[in-house]
Amino acid sequence: MSYIQLIDVFFISAFIAYLLTPFIRIVALKTGYLDHPQDNKVHAHATPLLGGVSIFIAFLIAMLTKEPVVSLAPARAMLLGAFILLIIGLIDDKMGMMPKFKLLGQFLAAMIIIKAGLRVEFIHNYYLSVIVTYIWIVGITNAFNLLDNMNGLSAGIACISAFFFGVLSYINGQPEISVISFALAGSSLGFLKHNFPKASIFMGDAGSLVLGYVLSAIAIMGHWKTYILTTSLMVPILVLGYPIFDTVLVSVMRILERRSIFQGGKDHSSHRISLMGFKRVKTVLIIYLICIFLGIVALTITKVHWHAGLALLAVTFVIMLGLGIRLSLIGTKRFGRKKAVHEG
């Protein structure tokens, strides 16, 4: 498969998401899929919540244009799991859902991937490999769900991550993974036009759950070859580095503050960066740059010799650790449910 075909997939997906989202917004307004303003929310007007539907439809149609990819069992399993999470997200966006039921749906979606034969390959023990795969898929899915706390943030990070996965898989001779990655990057970018501050529509849990799930599956489906196993394992971790960084930062801070790590609130890295004096748009753009930096590092370590790759990883770890320490020193006073942090 040529890179021209991959570009086609990207633009087909982006074009469909861009055109479809305004119609989905009308449907959301007529069916009451709205995020209403409250005292603990920033946006001043009721905002549609069906953006995840346009992302999924654009992604699916772009995938269907490449029939050989959709015919693969892992790809079909991934699409089925994504559809299940889309439905769960739609129910949660409309009526709310207890966290344990959302978690159960995520485990079901992860099980579908595993039953299709996908699991982390660097662990040879089957049962341990399955356990780690469950943790990875559920963890990344939730990371993107929690990261949807500022307009344009989750969609933009998903676009950047999927783009780098697409490039890396193409370099490694895995065109099927590239198709999936560029289809997701395109659908995220097309939706982003309507979701960037100030947003006319939110993706809702239906979108963030799907994005996190598909990206976690791509990371497992791909073979990220470098000179040594250590750097190979770090490639997907770097590409998805910012969602992982944000989740770790929030979890550690809540544990230190003796609060439940499952309690939502405005203590994510994006909120902490905003408290440094940056406006919302600049905060989102800063995080985009961090994601691009991590993607470039992932791309670089696939090409350099192992000792240079390890040195680069060490420098990157120090930079991210320093950022984490800096952000941890910034206090936030207002905490609330996860859905209370959309920026309108």
More confident residue, 300 or 261: 300
Task: Report residue 102 as tokens.
Answer: 């959302």
What percent of the chain is modeled with pLDDT above 70? 92
Amino acid 184: pLDDT: 98
pLDDT tens digits for range 5-17: 889 999 999 999 9
**Residue 272 phi, psi dihedral angles, 5° rounding:** -70, -40
Task: Report residue 249 as tokens.
Answer: 């930062």
Q: Which residues pair with 34 in a beta bridge?
A: 48
Please give the helix or strand (H or E) that residue 34 lies within, else none: strand 34-35
Long-range contacts of 168-174 (CB under 8 A, 24+ apart): 168/222, 168/224, 168/235, 168/239, 168/298, 168/299, 168/302, 169/218, 169/222, 170/3, 170/6, 171/302, 172/222, 172/223, 172/224, 172/225, 172/302, 174/222, 174/223
CB distance 63 to 80 below 8 Å? no
Amino acid 130: pLDDT: 95
**What mean pLDDT value characterizes the chain?**
89
**Residue 39 pLDDT class (50, 70, 90 cuts):** very low
Amino acid 332: pLDDT: 52
DSSP string across 220-262: HHS----SSHHHHHHHHHHHTHHHHHHHHHHHHHHHHTT--TT
Q: Is 35 helix (H, G, I), strand (E, B) or coil?
A: strand
**Residue 133 phi, psi dihedral angles, 5° rounding:** -65, -45
Amino acid 40: pLDDT: 41
Mean pLDDT of 301-319: 94
Mean pLDDT of 84-103: 91
Amino acid 45: pLDDT: 64
How far lies 76's CA from each of 58, 65, 127, 162, 310, in Å? 16, 14, 23, 18, 36
More confident residue, 139 or 333: 139
Please give the helix or strand (H or E) that residue 48 lies within, else none: strand 47-48
Mean pLDDT of 7-28: 95
Whether 37 shows a pLDDT value over 90: the answer reads no
Lowest model confidence (mean pLDDT) among 11-25, 61-75, 258-272, 330-344: 330-344
Task: Report residue 169 as tokens.
Answer: 């898989």
pLDDT tens digits for range 202-216: 999 999 999 999 999
Longest alpha-carbon distance in the chain: 58
pLDDT tens digits for range 124-144: 899 999 999 999 999 999 999
More confident residue, 149 or 160: 160
How far lies 288's CA from each of 4, 140, 158, 264, 314, in Å? 26, 18, 10, 23, 21
More confident residue, 335 or 221: 221
